[in-house]
Amino acid sequence: MRRVTPWKPQVKLGRVPLPQKTPQFAGSPGWVLLTHNEKGAPEAVFVDQNEKATPLLLVMDERLFSDTVLRVTRLAADLYVVCDIRWLNGKNLFDTLNYTERHAKLDELLALFHFPDLTALILPGDVPENTPIRGWETYDAAPGSMGVFIPMDQ
């Protein structure tokens, strides 16, 4: 039996890592879809919780418009906080990267490919200080795991 199944520890000694914690801002939650329309032109659309689609005017590299889905919170008509990325050019990042890795990817993508001239896409760390917070989102280190929302009053 020992030759077939080596006796190795299945856990390692160490501290339990704290979950990733990020604020959830008061605003309209939804999704920004970066895709192409039926004529092949790049198109950005904000879809709110009621599935109402609003076209967005973005200054962004066209290479990101191949079925990219961003989870956002709309703070103003021209200001969106990008909370997470679900798909990048048709590749499911949610199932393959943990929250910290997805957030690092978002930071890199926005720095390289987005200009906030018409509509600004910003990360939670760049939100103005006086913006109201609804609560906190916490994430563990596992790829594809859902975050946990903690309201401000708790």
Query: What is the per-residue pLDDT across 31-61, written as a single tens digit (0 to 9) for each?
Result: 999 999 999 999 999 999 888 999 999 999 9
Average pLDDT over residues 49-77: 92
Using the 8-state DSSP alphabet, how is residue 125 labeled? G
Using the 8-state DSSP alphabet, how is residue 101 labeled? H
The domains of the chain are located at: 24-151
90: tokens are: 């048709």
pLDDT tens by residue, 102-119: 999 999 999 999 999 999
Put simply, whether the predicted model's pTM sits higher than 0.75 gets the answer yes
Could you tell me which CATH number the domain at 24-151 has? Answer: 3.30.470.30
Looking at residue 18, its pLDDT comes to: 57
Beta-strand relationship, 79-88 and 68-76: antiparallel
Instruction: Indicate the helix (H) or strand (E) that contains 147.
Output: none
| Contacts with 61 (C-beta within 8 Å, 6 or more apart), sequence order | 112, 113, 114
First-to-last alpha carbon distance for the chain, in angstroms, is 51
| Higher local confidence (pLDDT), 141 or 127 | 127
Ramachandran bin of 129, using left for φ above 0, alpha for ψ from -120 to 50, beta for the remaining angles: alpha
Q: Residue 94's CB: how many other CB atoms inside 10 A? A: 20
